[in-house]
Amino acid sequence: MTITKANARPSKDFFVSMLTRDISLEDCILDLIDNSIDAAWKASGERPRTLVVDSALADYEVTIAMSEDAFTIEDNCTGITLDDAANYAFTFGRARGDDPDDYSVGVYGIGMKRAIFKLGSEIEIHSTYAEDDVLTAFKVPIDVPEWLRSDLDPADGSDFAPSWDFDIEEDDPSPHVGVRIHVSQLHPQTQALFGDESYERSLRRILARDYMLPLMRGLRIVLNGTLVEGSTVELKENESFAPMRVKYDDDGVEIEIVAGMLFQPPDDNEPDERKDTLSGWYVACNGRIMLAADRTALTGWGDLTPMWHRQYAGFIGFVFFSAENPLLLPMTTTKRNVDSSSAVYRRARSRMYEPTRAWIDYTNARKNDLQGLKQLETSTTGTSIANVPERPAVSLPTVTKKAATEPVANINYAVPRKQLRALAAAFGDKNMTYRDVGSQSFKYAYDELVDEEDS
């Protein structure tokens, strides 16, 4: 028989102070960009299902401005409707009945809230959306300290039911549909990073890499006034080297694996180590890179294969998972890792083993004919990752041990120079080198005196 109820009420402070500790600032910014890109895919009617260069997202732009004073992200995608804002967009965790959008990466319903709380404490979210072809707008202002205060028990001990809701207010529509999130009163650690010039460059590099796919499809991301250029990857190819590309379906998830040689592997005889931040495996879910240049057991290194070693530099592989239902994808909540317990991922990892193993075997065998293979490697040309044709396995040269060369003997003797010159003249060239006179003499004597069948 129930005596009373144990208080299991969630605390707002948990969401504001604790959840934000599990994620880096750049991953929070990426979470906000993910929302914009999900909206762009939805608005375009296209899907992030394959690697292709086209202009499917060319109408869409995400603009980010960050400084020590404020952070703003704005897009021109669909905007959030008032109904979605009131019922779904601001819930902590995805509300029942709010299924994730098709082919999106927004699954858990915490990304935006966690991101804005991580950034600062004065927040305004504005949305302009089209309702019956008329632009309509609202805004959600959030004063975080004020919102947290309403979580405190009143001093008089009266019945307490803290409100988790945010007010939605009328606002003037922007000239186009879209969402604008403005955060001020930045937290000190956010201010410190936004005031660091190298942080912007680092973030730009991450955006170029992690949004490589939507950028290939025409999306524009503008960071502090400058367009982000997507990373380009070219795999090396010639008659001996060719990258692989396979596609298959697994339990509602479409999987595409592309792998091959990015650059010539290092020559172990060279003492200076090339700085290599590119080699390894990349894992993407619905168009977003979750794991980059991975060389850990997550992608098989040191588990299915030997541990990563500098010898293997030059290998690159991409695995693209896409699914209409993003819950089927091997994503984590931070989108900076993969769920290695996912059966779909584990099965993909065993397919990833094949090109990894082939590359390891090639680099092991390479020393048997280093010079010849280096020549082959340098004669390759680059093929954009989007243009790699379907091929079931990577092509790499078959390395055979050089045939043992016949034992040789060196002859070294002195003769009077006058006689050597005379013999050189007799051979038809008085300026012939000493070495050539010796070789010709040996050949002459050999031809005269030795029966080939006896040799």
Partner 1 sequence: MTGSSTSYVNFSVRQNKAIERDRAFRALRALTSTNDDLDYVYVGLGSVWFVDFEIAHRELGIETMISIESDPVVFTRATYNKPYRTVEVIEGTSNEVLPTLLDDRPDLAERPWIVWLDYDKALDTVKVDELRYLIRRLPADSVLLVTFNAAPNRYAGPVDERREAFLELFGDAFPVEPFTTTGKYKDHALVMSALADGLNTLLHSHAGEAARPGGFVRAFDLRYQDGTPMVTAGGCLPSPERAAATSALVAAPGWQGLCPTPITTPPLTVRELQALRALMPCEPPPSRTSVQALGFDLEEDQIAAFAAHYASFPTFVQTAR
- Is 292 among the residues that bind partner 1 (CB under 8 A)? no
> Across-strand partners of 382?
236
The reply to whether 227 sits near partner 1 by the rule CB under 8 A is no
For partner 1, the closer CB: 201 or 309: 201
**The pair of three-digit structure tokens given for residue 94, joined into one six-digit string:** 């995805």
Of 190 and 333, nearer to partner 1 (C-beta) is 190
Under the binding rule (CB under 8 A), the answer on residue 273 touching partner 1 is no
Q: Is the dihedral of CA 187, 16, 283, 43 positive or negative?
A: negative
To partner 1, the closest distance from the beta carbon of 172 in angstroms equals 36
Burial of 428 (0-12, 13-18, 19+ CB in 10 A): exposed
CA distance 382 to 388: 10
Interacting residue with partner 1 among 149, 201, 309, 346 (CB under 8 A)? 201
Find the shortest distance in angstroms from Cβ 221 to partner 1.
17
**Does position 9 bind partner 1 by CB under 8 A?**
no
Cβ atoms of 107 and 85 within 8 Å: the answer is: no
CB 274 within 8 A of CB 321: no
Site string for partner 1, 144-183 (x = CB under 8 A): ----------------------------------------
Extract the tokens encoding 26: 């750049």
What residues contact 59, with CB distance under 8 A and at least 6 apart?
43, 44, 76, 218
Q: Which two tokens stand for residue 147?
A: 């919102």
C-beta of 193 vs 261, nearer to partner 1: 193
Q: With binding defined as CB under 8 A, does residue 202 bind partner 1? A: yes
Whether 206 and 30 have beta carbons less than 8 Å apart is answered as: yes
Q: Contact between 310 and partner 1 (CB under 8 A)?
A: no
67 touching partner 1, by CB under 8 A: no
Closest CB 226 distance from partner 1, rounded Å: 8
Residue closer to partner 1 by CB (options 277, 410) is: 277
Given 159, 197, 270, 451, the residue binding partner 1 (CB under 8 A): 197
CB of 118 to partner 1, least distance (A): 16
Query: Which of 2, 158, 198, 400 is close enough to bind partner 1 by CB under 8 A?
Result: 198
Shortest distance, position 198 Cβ to partner 1, whole Å: 4
Q: Which is nearer to partner 1, 206 or 304 (CB)?
A: 206
Cβ contact 429:416 at 8 Å = no
Of the candidates 249, 251, 274, the residue with the CA atom closest to the CA atom of residue 264: 274
How many whole angstroms from its chain centre is CA 295?
13
Contact call for residue 272 and partner 1 (CB under 8 A): no
Q: What is the largest CA-CA distance in the chain?
A: 124
List % helix, strand, coil for the chain (3-state, nearest 5): 35, 20, 45
With binding defined as CB under 8 A, does residue 193 bind partner 1? Answer: yes
Q: Counting contacts by CB under 8 A, is residue 24 touching partner 1?
A: no
Site residues, partner 1 (CB under 8 A): 192-193, 195-199, 201-202, 205, 226, 275
